[in-house]
């Protein structure tokens, strides 16, 4: 008899992975289908921070007038800060191998200065939110100390600075690996997970959901009692497939980052400030380089939205030049760029984005046992998994027994190197099917200064026997990887030349 799953999860980003892990552990028989690869959507285009939530707090505090005019939004931001701090403590303590602490400096310029007591109060509130489990290492610099700080030399208006805040943020080793880790653990708990498998049809009939999957072998229909729609910025497309285009819950917001080399004085240090419109703007270390952004703009969620435009790159360079006029970075100094579209919850007015992170039970809207998650963030993904499991639990009982939830990092070969062992593990144990799956999402190599181009040929050669690629197919996979890298990240020509030289060099 055909299996009937308790739940079918649509999507394979960080929220779907967390939902899969928590639902499987709670005893729900669960299948997950991801159109591309685990973590290949917005989860691969982030600023990679397990934020402490300071940005939410400044948004919440603002002025008394602003607080009174939008109290609901301000309280929501306070709540998001609390959840960020708790997510940070949980993740840093259970997965220390996947994060690194990064010292951050916030220059208190006349435009964004806050009194020292307010800064202390903000950090006390944040510390109280996680019970001080993972220290923030707050240090307040006086105006004289800030002016003398090596990293702030060249900052516009340094002589007018009021001081600076130093504290510790955490950065993911790289986020796609967190998605893959979560899928690996979820499969161990019983999740059936399929990548490269788009959901192309969805209908409710005879008390069950019929989910059409486009598998490599042809269409396959699976039956499930409930649907958990975690398709990120595409959640409304899925609801449209289910026959409910009017049940819109999401809107997209594009963010762009560029990778550049900053002066030695900035090495290993992050800097946080705000743009002229009050949006957060970061300089975040990445090895010897920094990525700078995000630059936010509207998006309609189409694939083009996942690529940086020349106008966005120019806007980031302009912002950087206003901040540090002496850096004098030009377009040719941009080593590569990336962009992503944030899924944002639709505000009650149905037109604007809300900062809220929400699960929606659309049973009342005519979609029985159908749950959608909006506004999901990397930094609070485990909480998203718990929230969705609770929401499902209000409608469905699991068909199997609960198992202990194992949040530890799965073991495996060194993910920072292309070796026989790391490529075989990626393909045979972690469902990698393409070079991009291997180099960007199982290994960190695809996020190096050359975007993995220099090691792609070696990885292709090692993967070919496991994936049954002929020499012609291996060459095609390599060409696909190069084309995707050029289209999505626009690396400057020097990156290509260095990669070709590295590939040609004797091993």
Ligand X SMILES: Cc1cc2nc3c(=O)[nH]c(=O)nc-3n(C[C@H](O)[C@H](O)[C@H](O)COP(=O)(O)OP(=O)(O)OC[C@H]3O[C@@H](n4cnc5c(N)ncnc54)[C@H](O)[C@@H]3O)c2cc1C
Which parts of this chain interact with ligand X (CB under 6 A)?
10-16, 33-36, 40-43, 45-49, 51, 198-199, 230-234, 255, 294, 340-343, 376-379
Long-range pairs, 140-146, Cβ under 8 A, ≥24: 140/116, 140/164, 140/165, 140/166, 141/165, 141/166, 146/107, 146/108
457: its two tokens: 């040929």
Give the residue with the Cβ less far from ligand X, 149 or 441. 441
Distance CA(196)–CA(432), nearest Å, equals 10
Residue 376: CB minimum distance to ligand X, A: 4
Residue 507: CB minimum distance to ligand X, A: 34
Distance CA(31)–CA(227), nearest Å, equals 10
What is the distance, to the nearest Å, from the Cα of residue 211 to the centroid of all Cα atoms in its chain? 27
Give the residue with the Cβ less far from ligand X, 51 or 147. 51
Give the residue with the Cβ less far from ligand X, 314 or 464. 314
Residue 361: CB minimum distance to ligand X, A: 17
Residue nearest ligand X, CB atom distance: 13
Q: Residue 264: how many CA atoms within 13 Å on its side-chain side? A: 0
Say which residues have a Cβ less than 8 Å from residue 216's Cβ, sequence separation at least 6.
Answer: 196, 197
Give the residue with the Cβ less far from ligand X, 47 or 474. 47
8 Å CB contact between 47 and 342: no
Nearest residue to 481 via CA among 505, 503, 504: 503
DSSP track, 173-214: S-HHHHHHHHHHHHHHTT-EEESS--EEEEEEETTEEEEEEE
Give the residue with the Cβ less far from ligand X, 457 or 488. 488
Give the residue with the Cβ less far from ligand X, 383 or 457. 383
Distance CA(450)–CA(493), nearest Å, equals 10
Q: Where is 124: in which H helix or E strand?
A: helix 116-130
Residue 252: CB minimum distance to ligand X, A: 9
Give the residue with the Cβ less far from ligand X, 46 or 354. 46
Distance CA(242)–CA(440), nearest Å, equals 32
Residue 306: CB minimum distance to ligand X, A: 9
Q: Where is 436: in which H helix or E strand?
A: helix 435-436
Give the residue with the Cβ less far from ligand X, 141 or 235. 235
Say which residues have a Cβ less than 8 Å from residue 397's Cβ, sequence separation at least 6.
Answer: none
DSSP track, 214-252: EETTEEEEEEEEEEEE--GGGHHHHHHHTT-TT---EEE
- What are the φ and ψ backbone dihedral angles of 490, each rounded to 5 degrees? 40, 60
3-state secondary structure of 311: helix
Give the residue with the Cβ less far from ligand X, 56 or 234. 234
Residue 87: CB minimum distance to ligand X, A: 8
Nearest residue to 384 via CA among 440, 343, 353: 343
8 Å CB contact between 318 and 17: no
Residue 414: CB minimum distance to ligand X, A: 25
Buried b (16+ CB within 10 A) or exposed e, 251-267: bbbbbbbbbbebeeebe
Residue 60: CB minimum distance to ligand X, A: 18
Residue 159: CB minimum distance to ligand X, A: 32
Residue 391: CB minimum distance to ligand X, A: 15
Residue 323's alpha-carbon distances to 168, 318, 408, in angstroms, are 22, 9, 41
Give the residue with the Cβ less far from ligand X, 6 or 176. 176
Residue 384: CB minimum distance to ligand X, A: 8
8 Å CB contact between 322 and 156: yes
Give the residue with the Cβ less far from ligand X, 447 or 474. 447
For strands 270-274 and 99-108, give the pairing.
parallel
Residue 402: CB minimum distance to ligand X, A: 24
Give the residue with the Cβ less far from ligand X, 49 or 315. 49
Give the residue with the Cβ less far from ligand X, 18 or 161. 18
Residue 153: CB minimum distance to ligand X, A: 27
């Amino acid at each position: 008899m055909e299996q009937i799953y308790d739940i079918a999860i649509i999507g394979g980003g960080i929220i779907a992975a967390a939902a899969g892990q928590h639902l499987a552990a709670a005893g729900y028989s669960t299948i997950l289908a991801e159109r591309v690869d685990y973590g290949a959507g917005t989860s691969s285009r982030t600023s990679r921070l397990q934020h402490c939530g300071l940005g939410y707090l400044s948004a919440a505090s603002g002025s008394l007038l602003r607080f009174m005019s939008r109290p609901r939004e301000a309280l929501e931001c306070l709540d998001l800060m609390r959840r960020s701090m708790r997510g940070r403590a949980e993740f840093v303590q259970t997965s220390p191998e996947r994060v690194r602490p990064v010292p951050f400096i916030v220059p208190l310029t006349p435009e964004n200065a806050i009194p020292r007591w307010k800064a202390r109060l903000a950090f006390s509130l944040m510390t109280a939110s996680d019970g001080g489990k993972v220290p923030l290492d707050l240090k307040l610099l006086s105006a004289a100390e800030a002016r003398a700080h090596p990293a702030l030399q060249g900052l516009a208006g340094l002589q007018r600075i009021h001081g600076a805040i130093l504290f510790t943020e955490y950065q993911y080793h790289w986020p796609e690996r967190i998605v893959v880790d979560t899928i690996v653990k979820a499969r161990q708990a019983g999740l059936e997970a399929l990548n490269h498998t788009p959901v192309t049809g969805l209908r409710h009939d005879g008390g069950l959901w019929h989910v059409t999957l486009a598998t490599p072998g042809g269409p396959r229909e699976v039956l499930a009692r409930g649907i958990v729609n975690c398709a990120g910025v595409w959640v409304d497309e899925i609801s449209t497939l289910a026959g409910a285009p009017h049940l819109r819950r999401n809107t997209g917001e594009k963010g762009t980052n560029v990778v550049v080399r900053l002066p030695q004085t900035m090495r290993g240090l992050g800097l946080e400030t705000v743009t002229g419109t009050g949006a957060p703007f970061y300089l975040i270390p990445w090895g010897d380089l920094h990525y700078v952004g995000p630059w936010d703009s509207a998006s309609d969620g189409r694939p083009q939205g996942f690529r940086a435009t020349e106008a966005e790159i120019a806007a980031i360079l302009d912002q950087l030049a206003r901040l540090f006029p002496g850096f004098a970075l030009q377009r040719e100094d941009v080593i590569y760029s990336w962009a992503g579209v944030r899924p944002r919850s639709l505000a009650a007015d149905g037109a604007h984005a809300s900062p809220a992170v929400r699960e929606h039970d659309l049973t009342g809207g005519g979609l029985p046992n159908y749950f959608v998650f909006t506004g999901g963030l990397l930094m609070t993904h485990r909480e998203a998994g718990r929230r969705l499991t609770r929401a499902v639990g209000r409608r469905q009982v699991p068909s199997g027994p609960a198992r202990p939830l194992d949040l530890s990092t799965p073991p495996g070969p060194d993910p920072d190197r292309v070796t026989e062992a790391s490529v075989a593990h990626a393909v045979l144990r972690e469902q990698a099917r393409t070079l991009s799956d291997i180099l960007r999402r199982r290994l960190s190599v695809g996020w190096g200064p050359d975007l993995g181009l220099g090691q792609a040929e070696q990885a292709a050669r090692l993967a070919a026997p496991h994936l049954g690629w002929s020499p012609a197919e291996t060459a095609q996979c390599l060409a696909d990887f190069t084309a995707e890298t050029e289209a999505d990240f626009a690396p400057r020509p020097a990156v290509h030349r260095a990669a070709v030289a590295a590939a040609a060099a004797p091993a």
